Chain A
Amino acid sequence: MARGSWARRWLTIGFWSGLVAGVWIWWAGTPQGTVDGAGSALVEAGRVTGMVAGYFLLVQILLMTRVGWLDRRLSANDLLRLHRDLGAMLTILVLAHASLLIVGSAKFDGSSLFAETKTIVTGYPDMVSALVATAILVGVALLAIRAIRTIMPYELWYYLHMTSYLVLLLGYGHQFAGGRDLRQPGPARTFWAGLTLFVVACLIWGRVIAPIRLNLRHRLRVAEITHEGMDVFSVYVRGRDLHALQARAGQFFRWRFLTGDGWWQAHPFSLSAAPNGKWLRLTIKAVGVYTEQLKWIEPGTRVLVEGPSGVFTADRRVRHRALLIAGGSGIAPVRALLEDLPRGTIVIYRASSADDLIFREELDFLADQRDTEILYVVGSRTDPGPREAMTAKGLRRLVPDISRRDIYLCGPPGLMEATVEILNRLRVPKRQIHLDPF
Chain B
Amino acid sequence: MRRILLGLMGAAVGTALMVGYKAMGAQATGPVATTGTQNHAGNAAAGTGPSGVPGQTGQPGPNTPGVSAAPGMTTGPGANPSAHPTTSGTTPPPKTTTTTTAPPQSRTITGNAVAASTAKSPTCGECSGNMQVRITVTGTHIDSITTIQQSNRPLSTASTLTAQALSAQSANVGNISGATYSSLAWKQSLQSAISQI
**Residue positions of A touching B, CB distance < 8 A:** 23, 26-27, 29-41, 43-49, 52, 85, 88-89, 92-93, 101, 104-111, 119-120, 123-125, 177-180, 183-184
Shortest Cβ gap from B68 to chain A (Å) = 26
Residues A30 and B121 in contact, CB atoms below 8 Å apart: no
**Residue positions of B touching A, CB distance < 8 A:** 3-4, 7-8, 11, 14-16, 18-20, 22-29, 36, 117, 120-121, 123-127, 153-156, 160, 163-164, 174-181
CA distance A119 to B27 in the complex (A): 28
For the A-B complex with A34-B22, A111-B121 known, give 11 more contacts whose Cβ atoms are closer than 8 Å: A32-B24, A32-B25, A33-B23, A35-B19, A35-B20, A35-B26, A40-B126, A40-B178, A43-B178, A111-B123, A179-B177
With beta carbons under 8 angstroms apart, the residue of A23, A108, A180 that contacts B153 is A108
With beta carbons under 8 angstroms apart, the residue of A49, A85, A110 that contacts B3 is A85
Residues A105 and B23 in contact, CB atoms below 8 Å apart: no
With beta carbons under 8 angstroms apart, the residue of B3, B125, B156, B160 that contacts A109 is B125
CA distance A104 to B179 in the complex (A): 10
Residues of chain B within 8 A of A109, CB atoms compared: 120-121, 124-125, 127, 180-181
Residues B16 and A105 in contact, CB atoms below 8 Å apart: no
Residues B26 and A34 in contact, CB atoms below 8 Å apart: yes
- Highest count of chain B CB atoms <10 Å: which of A33, A43, A52, A178: A33
Shortest Cβ gap from A266 to chain B (Å) = 29
Given contacts A30-B22, A32-B22, A34-B22, contact A101 B178 (CB under 8 A): yes
Shortest Cβ gap from A308 to chain B (Å) = 28
24 A-B residue pairs with Cβ-Cβ distance under 8 Å, sorted by A, are A31-B22, A31-B155, A32-B24, A35-B23, A36-B27, A43-B177, A44-B178, A47-B178, A48-B19, A49-B11, A85-B4, A89-B4, A105-B177, A106-B125, A108-B124, A108-B178, A109-B120, A123-B175, A124-B174, A178-B174, A178-B177, A180-B176, A183-B174, A184-B164
Residues B177 and A33 in contact, CB atoms below 8 Å apart: no
Nearest first, the 6 closest Cβ-Cβ pairs linking A and B are A36-B26, A110-B125, A43-B178, A35-B23, A110-B123, A33-B25
Residue of B nearest to A86 (CB): B7
Residues A31 and B174 in contact, CB atoms below 8 Å apart: no
Given contacts A23-B18, A31-B155, contact A36 B23 (CB under 8 A): yes
Given contacts A108-B181, A184-B160, contact A36 B29 (CB under 8 A): yes
Residues of chain B within 8 A of A93, CB atoms compared: 8, 11
Shortest Cβ gap from B147 to chain A (Å) = 15
With beta carbons under 8 angstroms apart, the residue of A33, A47, A110, A125 that contacts B174 is A125
Shortest Cβ gap from B16 to chain A (Å) = 7
CA distance A33 to B36 in the complex (A): 12
Residues of chain A within 8 A of B15, CB atoms compared: 45, 48-49, 52
Shortest Cβ gap from B78 to chain A (Å) = 15
Residue of B nearest to A88 (CB): B4
Residues of chain A within 8 A of B18, CB atoms compared: 23, 26-27, 48
Given contacts A109-B127, A180-B156, contact A124 B23 (CB under 8 A): no
Residues of chain B within 8 A of A32, CB atoms compared: 22, 24-25
Given contacts A33-B24, A89-B8, A108-B126, contact A123 B178 (CB under 8 A): no
